[in-house]
Amino acid sequence: MDFFIITSLTKDISRIDLFGILIGHLIFGVALTRLLDWTWLKNLMSEEDKKRMLKSYTWKDLLVDGAIVTVVLGIIFLIISNFL
């Protein structure tokens, strides 16, 4: 049932609306990142733990991270293509 709501919504939204929504989300994300204090992230791991983690990072980990990013981008582009 929800699928029909989404398909009827895609007929009501124009390309200009879609680009406005995407650009608005990007602006909000950048502004939120600038407003929040991220200095606490440095204290999560000690320097020794960071070095140990980076030494144990292999090409397989990089491949898995790349695959996750690819899947997320694919889902985003699939959603965008529904509106266009």
* 29-69 tens-digit pLDDT: 888 888 888 787 778 888 888 888 888 888 898 899 999 99
pLDDT at 10: 60
* Cα radius of gyration rounded to whole Å, the chain: 19
Give the CA-trace dihedral at 53, 58, 63, 64, to 10 degrees. Answer: -40
Confidence (pLDDT) at 84:
67
pLDDT band at 7 (very low <50, low <70, confident <90, very high): low
d(CA 77, CA 28): 20
Whether 10 contacts 82, CB under 8 Å: yes
The pLDDT assigned to 29 comes to 87
Model-level pTM? 0.45
